[in-house]
Amino acid sequence: MRFKSIFILLSVAALAILPSCHKKDDDTDSTPYLEGSISFSIPSYVKVGEELTISPKGGVNPQTGNIGYYWYSSWNAKRDTVKTETGSWSGSFNLTVPLATGTYTVTVGAFATDFYGLSTVKNFTVVDPALEGSLKGAGYQASSSIVDPRDENVYYVAQVGDKLWMRNNLYYSGTGVSFENSSAMDPIVGRLYSWNEAVKACPDGWRLPTDEEFASLTGTSGDILSSVAGSMMADATFNGKKLWTFWPDVKITNTTSFSALPVGYAVDQEGSVKFVGINQYASFWTSDADDDTALYRYIYVSKNDIFSGRGDKEYFRASVRCVKENKAE
């Protein structure tokens, strides 16, 4: 399963039978199209019941400049005109997304008298960030949780030896980036941090684990932690779909209570963030570092080993788990 739920695949054969769009020889219709193209922004993931503000732009009436806008959705097919050709408006309109999780579409169109209109369709996924909402099977327990006083975010914890570990990924919003730039996903999969951000992101009293501490969760050591990935992975679903796909070599048990999810990683490139490896990798920073790079541990979907890599401290982004000493009195 991929977090992005809808992929439309058209084969060459299917394309061949689509009707062509050309005028007949006797077609005298000379009605022009509006110029430009409609664009609007909508997050890839949105919380249930959230209200969105849509600000469409891009349609051009080359004659009078007058243009109207409308919208409709996959959950409410009734067309809603939000601006008439000559009417005034704020430049945006609001809509409330469904209370049920799933993938939905919004269509925004432009129209004007004596012109063929323009339209653009975008899809997004509605998520429920509550415990056992969109994410099920991660093994989190409300009775074993803490609250970050900085932002009231909730973290589920597990005692391992003399240390307390976070079971879900850090999502402190003071730094890092949201998965696919959608803050609705923060409580579900956490945020992705550069190492420079990660070393400062844990709550007071918590910190990044050393690589030795990370390895100690599995009872193994070395550059490759052999045959233990399944003990760190959560057999979880997102909106009803498996996150880690089945591979014969990997038996997911989550016996460490680490509950790793395949969020992938990210790389900062030319002012934007590229998200990579969704549903294939889980990656976690350690505190081990040299001048320019830091060590991270990662799991790959089809391998039962945990590997090590080195990422640029500033441009490579991974998930963060925080740890603290919790020795018995």
pLDDT in tens, 252-289: 999 999 999 999 999 999 889 999 999 999 999 999 99
- In this prediction, residue 28 carries a pLDDT of 62
Q: What is the CA angle 122-101-56, rounded to 5? A: 25
Give the C-alpha separation, 277 to 139, whole Å. Answer: 23
Phi-psi region of 230 (alpha: psi -120 to 50; beta: other; left: phi over 0): alpha
Question: Taking a C-beta distance cutoff of 8 angstroms, is the pair 322, 172 a contact?
Answer: no
Rg (CA), the chain: 24
pLDDT tens-digit readout, 54-72 = 999 999 999 999 999 999 9
pLDDT tens-digit readout, 136-184 = 999 999 999 999 999 999 999 999 989 999 999 999 999 999 999 999 9
> Comparing 77-81, 119-123, 196-200, which segment has the lowest mean pLDDT?
77-81
SS (H, E, C) 168-191: CCCCCCCCCEEHHHCHHHHHHHCE
User: In the block, which residue shows the tokens 């009803």?
Assistant: 240
What are the contacts of 303-306 at 24+ separation with CB within 8 A? 303/229, 303/247, 303/249, 303/250, 304/226, 304/227, 304/228, 304/229, 304/230, 304/249, 304/250, 304/251, 305/224, 305/225, 305/226, 305/227, 305/228, 305/229, 306/218, 306/224, 306/225, 306/228, 306/229, 306/232
Give the C-alpha separation, 257 to 81, whole Å. Answer: 51
pTM recorded for the entire structure: 0.88
pLDDT tens-digit readout, 4-34 = 433 333 333 333 333 333 444 555 668 999 9
In order of start, what are the domains of the chain with their CATH numbers? 32-127 (2.60.40.730), 135-325 (no CATH)
Running DSSP on this structure, what letter comes out for residue 34? Answer: P
Strand order from edge to edge, sheet including 265-269:
177-178, 191-194, 316-318, 265-269, 272-276
Give the C-alpha separation, 245 to 57, whole Å. Answer: 40
- In this prediction, residue 198 carries a pLDDT of 98
Q: Is the pLDDT of residue 202 over 70?
A: yes
How many C-beta atoms lie closer than 10 Å to residue 122's C-beta? 16
Rounded mean pLDDT, 211-234 = 97
Give the C-alpha separation, 136 to 242, whole Å. Answer: 10
Summary mean pLDDT of the chain: 91
Strand order from edge to edge, sheet including 306-312:
281-289, 293-300, 306-312
Give the ranges where 104-207 is alpha helix by DSSP (H): 186-189, 195-198
- Phi–psi pair at 45, nearest 5 degrees: -130, 135
Running DSSP on this structure, what letter comes out for residue 134? Answer: S
Phi-psi region of 314 (alpha: psi -120 to 50; beta: other; left: phi over 0): alpha
